[in-house]
Amino acid sequence: MTAASNTVRYFALIPAAGVGARMEAGSPKQYLPIAGKPMLRHALDAFLASPLIAHTYVVVSAEDSQIDAVVPEQGVGHGVTVLRCGGATRMDSILNGLQALHGSIDAHDQVLVHDAARPGLTPALIEKLIMEVGDHPAGGLLALPVVDTVKRAGPAHVSAQTVPRDHLWLAQTPQMFSYALLHRALSEAPDPLAITDDASAIEALGLAPRLVEGHPRNLKVTLPRDIHTAELYLAHL
């Protein structure tokens, strides 16, 4: 496809170069077994099952010795390619992946960045994100509106203030933006430490991504206790 084409394609990009220190598992958490297969494979399978996704890319570190067992078949005919260009941070891995794809993806093609540690993604959620974001110029992301009462903690973990929850959302992934916009936002980020997700980099440009309501099953596995919760959701596909 040439850069002059008006056809928009959708690509998935999964950064998976992290070490998962908070899991205290002794190995990267994306390879921990959940419901019978590695956590990363659940996220990957959701994209492979979606007819809307043209291809999926997984970004790992150059030293990763486990990815080939999780993704034994790669390439265009198999729908997935491993990019061994992971960086020190999530943002570095995504930017390195985008740079590796330069020339393969058109500027207006859409990139769906998804956490490897969110095994509850489904093709239906992928479709919902794509359909509801539509052609919004600032892209968009799955997220959940906050429903619980929010407290701001003071010293010694006392409740110092109740924070109004109106207009508060919890960000999920995938987060979808055009290749050109996402590459620009990450490249120009004034403070990489302030970029906690891809949408925050877009917001730093003065743009407002669209929020699309996701689902609790799309939780991020961060602590050991999250594995059981994820397995409960995965048991009810």
Query: What residue has token string 């961060």?
Result: 222
Q: What is the pTM of this model?
A: 0.93
| Burial (Cβ within 10 Å: 0-12, 13-18, ≥19) of residue 87 | middle
Residue 4 has a pLDDT of 47
The pLDDT of residue 137 is above 80: yes
Alpha helices in the chain (DSSP H): 39-48, 67-70, 90-100, 123-133, 179-187, 198-203, 225-234
Could you tell me the fold of the domain covering 10-234? Spore Coat Polysaccharide Biosynthesis Protein SpsA; Chain A (3.90.550)
Mean pLDDT on 190-208: 92
Distance CA 173, CA 47 (A): 12
- Determine which helix (DSSP H) or strand (DSSP E) holds 171, and give its type and residue range: strand 169-178
Average pLDDT, the chain: 92
pLDDT tens, position by position, 65-100: 999 999 989 988 899 999 999 998 999 999 999 999
70: left (phi over 0), alpha (psi -120 to 50) or beta: alpha
Domain boundaries, the chain: 10-234
pLDDT tens, position by position, 161-177: 999 999 999 999 999 99
Neighbouring CB atoms inside 10 A of 217's CB total: 18
